[in-house]
Every structure is written in structure tokens, then in C-alpha cells.
Amino acid sequence: MVSAVLASSLARRNIHYGWVVVAATFLTMLVTAGAMGAPGVLIKPLQDEFGWETSQISSALAIRLLLFGFMGPFAAAFMNYFGVRKVIVFAMALIGSGFVGSLFMTELWHLLALWGIVVGFGTGLTAMVLAATVSTRWFVKHRGLVVGMLSASSATGQLVFLPLMAELTDRYGWRATVFFVCAMIMLAALLVLLFMRDRPSDVNLPSLGEAHVAPAPARTTLSAALTTPITTLREISTTSTFWILFATFFICGLSTNGLIQTHFVTLCGDFGIVPVAAASVLAVMGIFDFFGTIGSGWLSDRFDNRWLLFWYYGLRGLSLLYLPFSDFSFYGLSVFAIFYGLDWIATVPPTVKIAADRFGREKAGLVFGWVFAGHQLGAATAAYGAGLSRTELSSYLPAFFVAGAFCLLASLLAITLKKSGLTNPAPAAAR
């Protein structure tokens, strides 16, 4: 087996195999995030070919974002039952089939079914919950840094691929971009099959930072795996910590995936900026996000995560309120790209750390899955709401003002969290 041989070889060099798993996870999240971001450069071509309105296309993207989020808790349960590698490969197959099917669509309901439902389910299985699961299983030491790295891959994939996809769309049509996405998905799936392993015990290693190999927990029944997310939600929903994290992450999704990722290219087009140039601005955001989110992971291992969230949401809100006054000039958009990019997904490491600290390592993936559902509910709200704003008001700008104001609210909510300490909600049967 490739992984066993590689693990032994790395161990002789004092390198933990967990870093290989991180690399495979990084690529998976990079590619699936690129697939998530692809529709952002395809709204205008779809309008031109099929005559669909922005609000109609946005409704499909909103469905995708909702499923992307609400699959999170169940994705964690599926990973516990079937294993991380099998879930990832199945997810890649779903995403690929959704994009391949879209090559032949002719009606709006085809878009809703393929890009909304099929791609939504597939990407939901490889959402941020994957990062939380891998980091908590394989790492005790450097966990915050690993969450930062994997979170950065997700945001960077959404943004860095966009200039290439915009160029492909401009030169060869939107179907060329779909072929590119499918090729990247196939490559990532192959590497996952070769190198991904579910737990450190699969290669006879302890988690990095622990001394002993921890055996895999006993496998539950499928029915228990499917009901665990609901049971967990029932328990954690009695705590204010969960609802504050849920609310702030709702605002996080409202101000990132649903707004900037989905509508920024079209917004720039309204101000005379061609798609390739607008996508290049997003790529700059992705580059700065990569360093900002890794830095956030490093900071989350060392400082009070509540105050980190306060600053991240506050600065993001100010950057969104600034954008309508930037004149959409090269200088104005560059300033926005730098400050917003540094903060794009910086909120993830502190949120994961707080969830693990308050609810325990074993529940961290499931708890974060429900928190992430809030993120995507916010993203879906912004994806549809911003599209509706453009259709009804002929402007995206009201949506940016609303998102900026909500970010300032999130910064205040973050500091209302109690100081670190394990939260143990009473089991449902005991209440």
C-alpha cells in the first residue's frame, strides 16, 4: 500500500504522515472550492445564451450554498461511518456528474437540479467540516495552524482559479470552464485514493503531539450515524455559545461566499470592468487570504479567539462599507482586495478552536458542521438577495451596505462569548 510505504519512509525522516493527509485534503478543498466559485464567472454567459435573469440563476446558486452548508453535520457523520477517503471520492463523483450534466442543459430547472442540488450535495461533503475532521483526528500540536492552512485552501481555490476560468470562458465559452473543472476533480480524486487515510491508526501512528496510537472508535450502525447530527444539535442548541457561533458564521457566509464569490465579477461588470480583470482582483484576494488565514491559525493557537473574531468581523465590515466608495478604480479595488482578502476566511480557525474548546474534540466536527450550516444559510441569503437587489433596484450596492453593517454586529457578538471552558450540555434524556 502506497500510504504505508510512504508513512514508514517519512517516519525515518521524523516527518509525520499527517502532513501528507493535510496535503491531500488541501488539494481536495482547493479543487472543490474552485468548482464552487466557477458559477461566479458564468452568470453573464448563461444570461446571454439562455436569457435567464440574474435572480433566476442566483436561486440555483442559493440552493447549492444551502445544501453545501446543511450537508456539513451529516458529512461529519458519514466520515465517521464510511471513512474520510470514501466520502471524498463519492463527493468528487457527484460534483463531476453535476458539471458534466450541465453541458447538456436547456431549461432553468436543469440548472436548479444540477448546479443547485447535485453540486450542492457533493461540495457539502467536502466543506469546512472536512478541515475540522482532519485537523482534530491527526493533530493535537499545530491544530490551529492546520485549520488555517486548510481553510486557506478553500477560499484560495474559490478565488485563484477564477482568472483562468474567466479567460477560458471569454475565449472558448462557458463549457470550456466546465471541462476544466471536471479535469481538476478527476486529478484530485486520484490523489485522494492513493494517499488519503482515515485516521493515524491506519498507518500505525499517534496523532501529532500525542505519544500513543489511539485505536479507531467502535463503528456505529448507519442509523445511529444518521441520527447523531440531530442528537448533537439538540444538545448544543441549549447553549448560548452555539447560537453566537451560528449567528456570527451566518454573517460570515453573508459577507463572503454568497456576496463576493457569487456576484463580484458581475458587480465589476456594472462599472465597466471586464470579467478577466474582475476575476484577477478576486485572485489577489485569494493570495492575501492564503497568508491571512494561515496567520489566523497561528494566532488562534496563542491568543483569545473571541477578540480575534472581534477584529476580523469589524475589519471586514469596514472594507465592505468602503467598496462602494472606491470608484472601482485600480487603486480603490487594490486596497479593497488586500484588506478584504486578508480577512476572507480568517474567521474559521478561531471558530473551530472555540467549538473544540467548548464542546470537546470528539464533537468538534459535528458542532462545527452545524455552525457551518449557519454560514451557508447566510451565503444563500446573500446569493439570492444580492441578485434580487440587482434585478429590482438595478444595483448591487445596497447588498454591500447591508453586509458591512451585519459584520460590525458580528464583531460585537463575538466578544459576548464567555471565556474558554468546556461546555457540557445535559443529554436530551436527562432534561
Mean pLDDT by 10 residues, the chain (431 residues): 77 86 89 78 82 80 77 81 89 91 88 88 81 83 80 68 81 88 90 88 84 74 78 89 94 86 81 80 80 85 90 92 85 87 84 84 77 85 85 85 94 85 44 34
Q: Per the structure block, which three cell numbers stand in for 411?
A: 464583531
Q: What pLDDT, on a 0 to 100 scale, did the predictor assign at position 190?
A: 92
Q: Per the structure block, which three cell numbers stand in for 72?
A: 456539513
CA atoms within 13 A on the CB side of 291: 9
Nearest to 145 by CA among 396, 391, 410, 350: 350
Q: Can you list the domains of the chain with their CATH numbers?
A: 7-198+225-420 (1.20.1250.20)
Q: Per the structure block, which three cell numbers stand in for 104?
A: 447538456
Q: What pLDDT, on a 0 to 100 scale, did the predictor assign at position 426?
A: 42
Whole-prediction pTM value? 0.71
Nearest to 58 by CA among 288, 262, 303: 262
Task: Write the secondary structure of the chain as one string of H (helix), E (strand) and C (coil).
Answer: CHHHHHHHHHHHCCCCCHHHHHHHHHHHHHHHHHHHHHHHHCHHHHHHHHCCCHHHHHHHHHHHHHHHHHCHHHHHHHHHHHCHHHHHHHHHHHHHHHHHHHCCCCCHHHHHHHHHHHHHHHHHCCCHHHHHHHHHHHECCCHHHHHHHHHHHHHHHHHHHHHHHHHHHHHHCHHHHHHHHHHHHHHHHHHHHHHCCCCHHHHCCCCECCCCCCCCCCCCCHHHHHHHHHHHHHHHCCCHHHHHHHHHHHHHHHCCHHHHHHHHHHHHHHCCCCHHHHHHHHHHHHHHHHHHHHHHHHHHCCCCHHHHHHHHHHHHHHHHHHHHHCCCCHHHHHHHHHHHHHCCCCCHHHHHHHHHHHHCCCCHHHHHHHHHHHHHHHHHHHHHHHHHHHHHHCCCHHHHHHHHHHHHHHHHHHCCCCCCCCCCCCCHHHC
CA distances to 41, 43, 120, 166, 171 from 275, in Å: 7, 11, 24, 6, 12
Which residues lie closer than 8 Å to 53 by C-beta, 6 or more apart?
47, 391
CA atoms within 13 A on the CB side of 297: 22
Q: What pLDDT, on a 0 to 100 scale, did the predictor assign at position 245?
A: 94
Beta bridge partners of 208: 139
Exposed / middle / buried, residue 262 (Cβ in 10 Å: 0-12, 13-18, 19+): buried
Q: What pLDDT, on a 0 to 100 scale, did the predictor assign at position 362?
A: 65
Query: How many whole angstroms from its chain centre is CA 29?
Result: 8
CA distances to 37, 181, 185, 226, 236 from 31, in Å: 10, 8, 6, 27, 32
| C-alpha span between 117 and 97 (Å, rounded) | 11
The residue type found at 75 is A
| C-alpha span between 417 and 412 (Å, rounded) | 10
Q: Per the structure block, which three cell numbers stand in for 415?
A: 466578544
| C-alpha span between 7 and 19 (Å, rounded) | 10
- Cβ atoms of residues 140 and 207 within 8 Å: yes
Quick one: angle between helices 305-322 and 275-300, nearest 10? 160
| C-alpha span between 267 and 275 (Å, rounded) | 10
Q: What pLDDT, on a 0 to 100 scale, did the predictor assign at position 422?
A: 45
Q: What pLDDT, on a 0 to 100 scale, did the predictor assign at position 11?
A: 79
Exposed / middle / buried, residue 165 (Cβ in 10 Å: 0-12, 13-18, 19+): buried
